A and B are shown apart, each in its own frame.
Chain A
Amino acid sequence: MNRKLIVAGIVAALALLTWLWVGARSIDPGEHGRYTSVLRELQRLDRTLNQDVLRARVQLINTYDPLVSTEREIRAARVRLTNAPSFVGGDAAAALTAEISDYGKSMTDKQALVESFKTRGAVLKNSLRYLPTLATEVAREADSANPAIAGDVRALLVSVLVYNLTSDESLAPKITGAADSLQARSGTLSPVTADSLTLLLAHVRSVVATKPEVDRIVRGIFDAPVVKGEERTTRAYLAAYSQAETRAGGYRGALFATSVLLAALVAWAFTRLSRALADVSAANAFLEQRVAERTASLDSRNRAMGLVLDNVEEGLVTIEPSGHFAAERSPWIDHWVPPSMVGPRPLLWDWAAAIDPKAAKWLQLSWEDLFSGMLPFEVVVDQLPKHIADSRRHYALEYRPIRSGGPDIDGVLLVVRDVTERVAAEKAEGEARDLMAAVQQIVADREAFVDFMNDTAAIVERVGNPAASSTTTFREVHTLKGNTGMYGLTTLSGACHAVEARLLEERDLTPEDRESLCRLWGGFAERVEKILGDRGEGKLEVRPEEFEQLVAAVAKGVPKAEVLRLLTRLQREPAERRFERFAAEARALAVRLGKPEVAIRVSGKGVWFDRKRFAPFWSAFVHALRNAVDHGIEVSTEDRVAAGKPTTAELHLSATEDAEGIVVSLSDDGRGIDWERIQAQARKMGLPSDTQHDLLAAMFADGLTTYEEATEISGRGIGMAAVRSAATAIGGHLDIHTEAGRGTTLRFRFPPAEA
């Protein structure tokens, strides 16, 4: 648009300049010169013609050739005269044309006069030429006959010749008179001479008649308005020329003004252009400086970033969908696994295999899923190992998707952190926490904790035995997890959970797992040992009231059997005491699991349990208790209110003893066993699930749980099996009574001990 405008402007300016230029140059000096020279030449030729006429008239020239050639030149010049210069225009041109026309007419008229002059002049000259000859002849012949006539003839000749050369017309009548006189006297001459005289007189009369005519013609030639015509034509032409000159002057002025204007415009444009150029170069310099500054600042930032990245113990690397490392990566990646081991651009799993072959295999198997698009990235990432470790170091792995706008993943940013220190710190912290928990337990119930320690030590010993069956080991580990969890020994229970998770995968423990568990327990036990001091193995703890009772009985002199019973009873523990301990654990568990408030009733007055016999059972009973809290009681108060129950859940631990033996029961008012889920789980595991009996059996099958995910506390399905197994081991029997929505009761019946 703008460019078109400029081009149009330039074209218009050029057109204007050209127009003005043509206008200013409209007067062709050559044309002007030629035309004025034509006018001058005509003037000169006219003068020449006049001179020639005059010379011919007085016979200074005796030929008309000069007249003819002058007239020929005039004819040619007149043709040129009609071709007025092209710059003559307008009314001036019309005026000039009119003048030329008049001028031409006057010249034509004059030419006719000249022709008349030539013709009539020739007649006059003819007579004047012939008269002397004739007069001589007449006079010679008349001399003898009439000398007077001869004399008159000679006088007449002179008169005629003089008459011809003067403008004095008074001679004419005299000549005519003399001629008449001679004519009258011709009769005196011989007839031949008289004829000659008559001819002579005819020529004389011809001269007298022709001479004034010729003089008139000559005057007419001289008076012809040719000079005037020439002057008027010249004036008209000069007027036209001056008009054209004025017009051209106007064009010149306009041309000058336009040129000055355009020059000013060009100068202005030039100034603007140079200023713009200066601005542009200044802007360029500024930009270059800015770019340089920016580059420098970026460089420094990059250096700083590089420094930061190099100094953070965090490896960053982009991994292509193929699994290859990108070339650019932070130095730690190569520091942890030198490229000399795996190559310059290793596959992720090859790199990981240098640290943790197992995790590397896992990575390799799951990698493709990241890019298959079948599952969301986040879901697949969840399946990837987030932690790898060799014997010395631990690394945390974090995967972040690299997307370039679309939903597809172009690559994965892998963030690797060396978490060895943190793991160690956490471990130390966990150990300290465990120790704290242990101290609390010891303070609260030293005896119970000692029991726990003893039980656990036994379990760990069994777990540490490589020969143990995997099923046994599974249950032992589960019990271990439950017990340690119950006592808040998180490190231990966490380790058990990890081992358990691996057992689920592999169905057997590796020697490393066993060793690690043993070492973990060993470490803990060693630290607790120092606080607990002698664990009291082989000691019999007697409470003061028991001791007083015994003393009183002996003092009273009760029968020996009764004393024996009391003494034996020292080896037992009262049910209430054991139950109170469980109740405390259950309450703590409920709080930890965020369950509704639980009211725990304990009853068992007068029932005593043989410590030795029941120790393994109590170890396993923890599972039942935990199931009741975790599975039985509703997840929230709202659920209970919805089921029309009091907000506080109720748990009842009781023991009764009769001749048949001891019955231990645990009942809750929770959700009851979800048989449908058990059935579904049983089917999933390929177990019989058609009858109630089948379902009961399935419930005790190892590995069955109705929970979606096992927790530290319960849910492996192993718990019920473990507790039933423990009861059975000491001759007990388990009955389960459950009512959907109303609660579950476990009843263990133990026969009396053999005496």
Chain B
Amino acid sequence: MANARTPPCAGGGQALQSSLSHTAGGKYPIKSSPLPILGFLLMACAPSGRQQEVAEPLAVAAVLDASPIQPVPAITQLDPAQLALGERLFNDKGLSKDGTVACASCHSLETGGVDRMRTSIGIGGAVGPINAPSVFNSSLNFVQFWNGRSDSLEDQAGGPLTAGAEMGNTWPVALATLRADASYVSEFGKAYPSGVTETNVRHAIATFERSLVTPDAPFDRYLRGDTTALSEQAAAGYQNFVDFGCIACHQGAGIGGNMYQKFGVMGDYFSDRGNPTEVDLGRFLVTGAEADRHVFKVPSLRNVDRTAPYFHDGSAETLEDAIGVMARYQLGRKLQDGDVAELAAFLRSLTGTYQGRSL
């Protein structure tokens, strides 16, 4: 049990932590993994039974407050009519130029909100330039797209619709198509006073997307105190995740998705990979700032097991591959296989549920 709770490398940092905590003057140690504190709390307050103590909301909240990873927040109340309309639009191929591609074509809810392709295929078999990010938990992202060119889901929703290699449509045509459908006119009428408009289409799709959160991943349960929710390997993987510094970028409720970072801090990924593409420039395409070259939105690691292949170029086909690339270019070394396996186990514990079912 103690093993399950105590990260493998915790002991190494313990002395440092206590000495540093005074220097920092902070309430919490620099190494703010919740587990030691959680364990302490559990033992101090309720040695008789863990489950009961975990149910103590204040204590858990206090722990979670300092945790670098937060559980998926509850969905705010969404308008049912708008939600239903958004779902219908999300699945409607009629929004594309030739009626072959829907949002769901590349962001299938059955396959982790992605198409599991290296890069997406749009109308007429056009091959897109970039790997499709998952639509699940997209609302947790602080900006949308790999390079963050949209700062809202509403803004994002229009992008693929008019992108030539994706749905290839124009708004006037899309709206005319919608208006020609009496049932759409009726549904829009119920959901929005202004009826069928571009703004409302965007809003409806965004509303639907906000509903696509995946709570209750094993790791979320672990965070809430269910120490059995993770295997030892996964728990060790989390400790590695923290100790190796991954947690510096992949933090927050989305375990990523709330900041930008350069792909290749400790090495030049792109020259090593070769074959540079425009999208490799990342945020540079948006800001034009040299500092933003190869800078991308740090992707959320939630459901990461279900969204292969990985990275904007879809170059990593497995989690282990991706972990290896990240270690090589963000950390500067090759990890031992055991560490990689533990990290992968941890990452697999991030798969949440949608409509009561695990992705």
The answer, among B26, B258, B332, for a CB contact under 8 Å with A203, is B332
A60 touches B252 (CB 8 A): no
Interface bits A63-86 vs B (CB < 8 Å: 1, else 0): 111011001100100000000000
What 0/1 readout, one digit per residue, does chain A (197-211) give for beta carbons within 8 Å of chain B? 001001100100000
Of B84-92, B194-202, B237-245, the one touching chain A: B237-245
Chain A residues closer than 8 Å to B13, beta-carbon distance? 132, 136
Residue contact A68 to B245, C-beta cutoff 8 Å: no
Are A127 and B245 interface neighbours, CB within 8 A? yes
Query: Contact check: which of A115, A127, A196 meets B259 at CB < 8 Å?
Result: A115
B67 near A62: Cβ-Cβ < 8 Å: yes
Q: How far is the CA of A316 from the CA of B239 in the complex (A)?
A: 144
A122 to B261, CA, bound (A): 8
A67 neighbours in B (Cβ, 8 Å): 258
B contact residues around A123 at 8 Å (CB): 248, 261-262, 265
B2 within 8 A of A: no
A133 in contact with B260 (CB, 8 Å): no
Q: Contacts A65-B70, A75-B151, A132-B16 given: A58-B243 contact, CB under 8 Å?
A: no
Q: Tell me the smallest distance from the CB of B333 to a CB of chain A, in Å.
A: 5
Within 8 A of B (CB), among A156-173: 157-158, 161-162, 165
Nearest CB of A to B284, in Å: 13
Q: Which of B23, B30, B151, B245 has the most CB of A within 10 A?
A: B245
CB-nearest residue of chain A to B241: A129
The closest CB in chain A to the CB of B12 belongs to A136
How far is the CB of A374 from the nearest CB of chain B, in Å?
A: 96
Q: Among A60, A61, A202, point to the contact of B266 (Cβ < 8 A).
A: A202
The one of B9, B68, B260, B333 in contact with A119, judged by C-beta atoms closer than 8 angstroms, is B260
CB distance from A331 to the nearest CB of B (A): 96
- B24 interface residue, CB < 8 Å from A? yes
Which residue of the partner chain, among B28, B31, B259, B295, contacts A60 with CB atoms under 8 Å? B28
Contact A132 B247 (CB under 8 A): no
Distance, CA A330 to CA B245, complexed state (A): 140
Q: Please measure, in the bound complex, the distance between the C-alpha atom of A196 and the C-alpha atom of B142, giving whole angstroms.
A: 36
Q: Which B5-60 residues sit within 8 Å CB-CB of chain A?
A: 9, 12-13, 16, 19-20, 23-24, 26-28, 30-32
A-side contacts of B247, CB under 8 Å = 62, 129
Given contacts A62-B247, A63-B68, A119-B260, contact A202 B332 (CB under 8 A): yes
Q: Is the CB of A64 within 8 A of B244?
A: no
Neighbouring B residues of A130 by C-beta, 8 Å? 243-245, 331
Contact between B9 and A133 (Cβ–Cβ < 8 Å)?
Answer: yes
Dominant secondary structure at the B interface: loop
Interface positions of B from 97 to 122, Cβ below 8 Å from A = none
| CB-contact partner of B26 in A58, A121, A199, under 8 A | A58
What is the number of contacts between chain A and chain B, taking CB atoms within 8 Å?
116
A58 near B261: Cβ-Cβ < 8 Å:
no
Whether the pair B330, A126 counts as a contact (CB closer than 8 A) is yes
Q: A62-B67, A62-B251, A136-B12 are in contact. Are A118 and B151 (CB under 8 A)?
A: no
Which residues of chain B in 322-346 are interfacial with respect to chain A, using CB atoms and an 8 Å cutoff? 330-333
User: Is A59 an interface position by the 8 A CB rule?
Assistant: yes
Q: Interface residues of A: mostly helix, strand, loop or mixed?
A: helix
Asked if A125 is at the interface of the complex by the 8 Å CB criterion, the answer is: yes
| CB contact under 8 A between A119 and B262, given known A62-B247, A65-B252, A130-B245 | yes
Name the B residues within 8 Å of A26 (CB-CB). none
A122 CA / B266 CA spacing, docked (Å): 13
Q: A123-B248, A165-B20 are in contact. Are A62 and B32 (CB under 8 A)?
A: yes
Q: Which residues of B contact A62 (CB under 8 A)?
A: 32, 66-68, 247, 251
**A733 CB to nearest chain B CB (Å):** 147
**Of the residues B12, B258, B330, contact of A64 by C-beta under 8 Å:** B258
Contacts of B332 in A (CB 8 A): 199, 202-203
A125/B28 in contact, CB under 8 A: no
Are B251 and A129 neighbours in the complex by a CB distance under 8 Å? no
B253 lies within 8 A of A161 (CB):
no
On chain B, the residues within 8 Å of A162 by CB distance are 23
Among A75, A123, A199: residue with most chain B CB under 10 A:
A123
B239 nearest CB neighbor, chain A only: A133
Complex CA–CA separation, A751 to B181 (angstroms): 160
Q: Does A116 have its Cβ within 8 Å of any Cβ on chain B?
A: yes
A116 x B70 contact (CB < 8 A)? no
Q: Please name the residue on chain B nearest to A75 by beta carbon.
A: B151
Closest chain A residue, CB of each to CB of B33: A62
B69 touches A63 (CB 8 A): yes
| Contacting residues, chain A, for B151 (C-beta < 8 A) | 75
**How long is the Cα–Cα vector from A62 to B63 in the complex, in angstroms?**
12
Q: What residues on B are CB-neighbors of A136 within 8 Å?
A: 9, 12-13
Query: A125 to B245, Cβ gap below 8 A?
Result: yes
Among B9, B30, B69, B266, max chain A CB count under 10 A is at B30
Whether B74 sits at the interface, judged by CB under 8 Å, is no
Check B249 for interface membership: any CB of A closer than 8 A.
Answer: yes
Option from A63, A132, A165, A203 in Cβ contact (under 8 Å) with B70: A63
Q: Judge whether B251 and A63 touch: CB under 8 Å.
A: yes
Residues of A within 8 A of B182 (CB): none
A59 to B261, CA, bound (A): 18
Contact B260–A118 (Cβ < 8 Å):
yes
Alpha-carbon separation in the docked complex, A195 to B66 (Å)? 34
Query: B10 to nearest A CB, angstroms?
Result: 11
* B213-246 at interface with A (beta carbon < 8 Å): 242-246
Q: Answer yes or no: B291 CB below 8 A from chain A CBs.
A: yes
Q: A60-B26, A63-B252, A202-B332 are in contact. Are A129 and B244 (CB under 8 A)?
A: yes
Contacting A126 at CB < 8 Å: which of B23, B24, B28, B248?
Answer: B248
A487 to B312, CA, bound (A): 171
| CB proximity of A312 to chain B, nearest CB, Å | 100
Least CB distance from A383 to B in Å reads 104
Q: Which residue of B lies closest to A130 (CB)?
A: B245
The reply to whether B243 and A122 form a contact with Cβ atoms under 8 Å apart is: no
Query: What's the minimum C-beta distance from B187 to chain A, rounded to whole angstroms?
Result: 28
Inter-chain contacts of B249 with A (CB < 8 A): 122, 126
- B contacts, CB < 8 Å to A: 9, 12-13, 16, 19-20, 23-24, 26-28, 30-32, 66-70, 142, 151, 242-249, 251-253, 258-262, 265-266, 291, 295, 298, 330-333
User: Apart from A132-B31, A202-B266, what 19 extra A-B contacts exist at CB < 8 Å?
Assistant: A58-B24, A59-B32, A62-B32, A62-B247, A63-B70, A64-B252, A65-B251, A68-B258, A72-B142, A119-B261, A121-B248, A125-B245, A126-B245, A126-B265, A127-B245, A132-B243, A158-B16, A199-B333, A206-B266
**Which 3 A-B residue pairs are closest in the complex by CB-CB distance?**
A129-B245, A62-B68, A126-B245
Please, could you name 7 A-B residue pairs with CB atoms under 8 Å apart, sorted by A? A64-B252, A126-B246, A130-B331, A132-B12, A161-B16, A165-B24, A195-B333
